[in-house]
Chains A and B, each alone.
Chain A
Amino acid sequence: MAEPLRILTAVPICDGHDSAISTINLEFIRHGLEVVYLGYHRSARDIVRAAIQEGVRAIGISSYNGGHIEFFSEVIALLKAHRASHIGVFGGGGGTITKADAAKMQHQGVDRIFFAGTPLSELTAFVKERYGKRRHATLRRIAVDSMRGRAASAARVIGITGPGGAGKTTLIDELVLRLLKARSEAQIAIISHDPSIVGKGALLGDRATMIYSQDDRVFMRSLATRGRAGGLSSETARWLRAMKSGRFDLVFVETVGIGQEALPFRRGLVDKSIFVTGPDYGSRLQLQKIAMLDAADIVVVNKGDLAGAATAVSEIEQRLAVNRRGQRVVSTVARRHRDPGVDRLFEEVSA
């Protein structure tokens, strides 16, 4: 089966108009595209870096706040500077981009500007037609090339898993912030996963909620599971190998949200595994059923500010005690800035 078409969408810096792009993302996904969504208020630098790392075939930019001529031309120039001009650029901005602006932008290298009133079907048809035929191998090679460099030692791989909504992505972003600050040379890679069905589209949206991981010292690849069960993608191992031989000190692998029975990291895949859960796992009996509680090196009870968090920590500690493996339990509030729990987790991860 042909690989799905991957594109990246974003809203420019100082622009929060994400209503149109949200609708367009849904339409793209419905038509089988994999959309890496970077979110709003994103710089040209962030967009181009992400596009190269993600190996997308095109970038779609939705701009409603003015300054589009400069912004799109900055994106085109940066793609050129990174020898990634094969990545297409298209966009729109309702009525804010005039015909004259569009002509100028298309002259500068933008493939197409869509105007207000364009049917979604026309937009989707354009993207499929225009970008559907490019070769994947080139895109992958360029992404892999951007990982080159020498790490001080072999990269350590941290696997992070847990049920959906537990806060895995936020935790990774907070750990990245700490590592970037603590070690000025640190280089980090992240593989994140989102679920998808064979031959269907997917929204790869983890980047949109990550603030600190959009950095030249961070390489991130978002993978759709494309029907594979277990929380990872069939490409995960391959990317992990490439990352290990790249410039990185630390690699995070984030699974999709998993169920009680899942054990996503097969032996040897990761050096350390973290199971993240909220305090809302249900009754104590439910804990007995979670397979990852036996496999994880560290168990994180995130949302430690919620009622029941202290109970959850002690129940999990008791549950782990019988394993006699020295598993650690850390309580965090990942969404809180400078959370001491995340600081402790960072020490555990760095240890």
Chain B
Amino acid sequence: MSTLGRVCESVEGHARFVADQVRRARQDAAFRAELLERWKAIRESIGTVRTPTGLELPALALPPIDEPGEIARILFGEGLPGEFPFTNGIYREMYRQDGGGSGHRAQEEPTRLFAGLGLAEDTNERFHYLTRHQRSIRLSTAFDGPTLYGLDSDADGVFGKIGEGGVAIDTVEDMERLFARFPLGGERLSASMTINGPAPIILAMYVAAARRRFGAKVVSKLRGTIQADILKEVQAQNEIIFPLEASLRFLGDMVEYTTAHLPRWYPISISGYHIAEAGATPVQQAAYTLSNGFTYVELFRQRGLDVDRFGPRLSFFLDCGLDLEYLALARVCRKIWAIALRDVFGAGERAQRFRLHMQTSGRSLIAQDFKNNLTRTAVELLLAYINATNSCHSNSADEPFTTPGEEYVRLAAHAQSILLEETGLFRHMTNLLGGSPGMQAVEQAVEHAILEEFRALDRLGGVLAAVDVRYQRAQIQAAAHRYEQQIADGTRPIIGLNRYTDPGEKMIEPKVIRTPRRQKQHQIDRLRAFKHRHAAKAGPALDALARTVESGGNVFAELIKTVEHCSLGQITGRLFEVVGRFRPSV
């Protein structure tokens, strides 16, 4: 049986365990007494909070029950917030700001603002602008097309793409410029990089840039995330550049290195976002993301890494759209992940926690009557926080056209502040809506459907075998096609598109930010100067890299040296010769 078969068994096994506890609670007097005692103690331990209008409420919402079986079902089946299997959340206090909450959110905008435009200096300036009032500095980087595909800015045919939709990074020097005047390794700084195919090379540049500025000791202090989720690239987003096997090996080398030397780094963000954006249903998103996660755990364990060391450094990234399933999607994911990590992989509690970042759905935003996107995003944000996500990015209403402009970026950020700080929904009580009848019904249906999808993957021989026959891809494409058909025949209402369209509407042309030609040329010129300066050392550095790949050494450790003398495109070019290129499938 493949891992997924065992995951299904563990989830079902857990359901049987819960049913047993419920029965025991009803039949076994001693157990019942113990349970009621525990329930009473929990109730008594919950503090009270006072709303601005003076109403007193418990800080943690529990259902008003005293039936022992039901108590057992809650304690064992979903767990209190912060308790196995973490259905209600991975921490006891989620967004509370008074009483026991961490309270840090009140002083800053609780968002990770995605930035990346033009050259490294432009993005650096934007980073400084975005973080000027923030206590924690969270730098979230988008890269331009050539960088995402491992090409240099002077590669044939990419001129128009330089600095579009993200920042152009060719060399370690660009990486230094990108984070200039930021205290890398600082306690309050974390950098996140959204890149996959060439992720190990880009992270190596980040490490090398930090060392150049702060010395070798900074490495163990670096905090941040790199997406590096290569499985979802094959299934949905198409930004994989090396063959899958080689990509997974480079990833494994990187995770091994960060686990040992960058203990505060999140070396992979297992992402359903792009799977959903490519057209997957919410259930497909959850099933493929979780199953990809299990595959990574299995691969890293196979190379001898300890799940209790790398497990707590895995994080997840899910899309939050408007479909009903999103009411409980993350709740189910947390539960399945926790059970599987404990019962299939023998992981401890820290690795059982499903650390989650969400983002509102880009696909749900449309160009027509685009200000409606503010409402869509607000509803999605509400769903994300009802799901007890650990952080969330809210999209800007102008995203269907362009890299978001400042006005809409600010509105998107403030939507979160309004939800978390202005409204009382999340700041006083934890677990406001958890366990409501509707949510339970959705939860059960979603869990059942996810396990069905696991079984389908299992029958194909597991995730990698399914990738091989393009299963996930085909399923996602079929779902995307159904979605389009539903829009066309009106069974999926989209306001402003297939309902209540404004006949007089002229499409508003928002301001678009583009990188000027002369900037693009400047990037090419300095890249060429870098190559010229390092001409003598680049060849030997690439040879050493190729030898490391061939001999089975740690490629990431070598890349940290290679990037000192070689550009991104030089490195990928050499690696293509050694391991080949990714072959797309249609």
Contact = CB atoms under 8 A, between A and B. Distances in A.
Interface of A: 12-19, 22-23, 26, 37, 39-41, 43-45, 65-71, 74, 94-96, 98-100, 115-117, 119-120, 170, 173, 203, 205, 208-209, 211, 335-338
B579 A337 contact: yes
Given A16-B237, A67-B161, A117 B583 contact: no
Interface of B: 144-146, 148-149, 151, 156-162, 164-165, 237-239, 243, 246, 278-279, 366-368, 400-402, 477, 480-481, 484, 488, 497, 507, 509, 512, 514, 578-581, 583-586
A16 B239 contact: yes
A209 B585 contact: yes
Closest 6 CB pairs of A and B: A70-B160, A16-B238, A14-B145, A337-B580, A66-B164, A67-B160
A39 B481 contact: no
Q: Which of B146, B157, B507 has the most CB of A within 10 A?
A: B157
Contacts of B239: 16
A119 B488 contact: yes
Contacts of A67: 145, 158-162, 164
A74 B579 CA distance: 31
B363 to A, nearest CB: 9
Contact of B146 (A14, A115, A211): A14
B238 A45 contact: no
B481 A70 contact: no
A44 B157 contact: yes
Contacts of A12: 161
B554 to A, nearest CB: 20
A17 B366 CA distance: 17
A170 B583 contact: yes
Nearest to B165: A66
A275 B481 CA distance: 36
B480 A23 contact: yes
A73 to B, nearest CB: 8
Contacts of B238: 16-18, 40-41
Contacts of A18: 238
Nearest to B365: A95
Nearest to B512: A98
A65 B164 contact: yes
Contact of A209 (B164, B507, B583): B583
Q: Which of A16, A26, A65, A170 has the most CB of B within 10 A?
A: A16
A192 to B, nearest CB: 13
14 contacts: A14-B161, A19-B477, A45-B157, A74-B157, A94-B367, A96-B402, A98-B402, A115-B507, A116-B366, A117-B367, A205-B586, A209-B584, A336-B580, A337-B243
Contacts of B581: 211
Contacts of A44: 157
Contacts of B579: 337
Contacts of B145: 13-15, 65-67
A351 to B, nearest CB: 25
A18 B238 CA distance: 8
Contacts of B279: 19
A88 to B, nearest CB: 21
Given A13-B149, A66-B164, A117-B497, 6 more contacts: A19-B477, A39-B586, A40-B238, A68-B160, A95-B367, A116-B400
A94 B400 contact: yes
Given A13-B145, A14-B146, A211-B583, A115 B488 contact: no
A14 B366 contact: no
Given A13-B161, A95-B400, A119-B488, A40 B366 contact: no
Contacts of B367: 94-95, 115-117
A119 B151 CA distance: 35
Contacts of A209: 583-586
Contact of A100 (B509, B584, B585): B509
Contacts of B578: 337
Nearest to A40: B238
A23 B400 contact: no
Contact of B481 (A23, A69, A98): A23
B165 A65 contact: yes
A45 B507 contact: no
B462 to A, nearest CB: 14
Q: Which of B160, B477, B497 has the most CB of A within 10 A?
A: B160
Given A65-B165, A67-B161, A337-B243, A96 B580 contact: no
Given A13-B157, A74-B157, A99 B507 contact: yes
A85 to B, nearest CB: 19
Contact of A45 (B156, B159, B580): B156
A43 B156 contact: yes
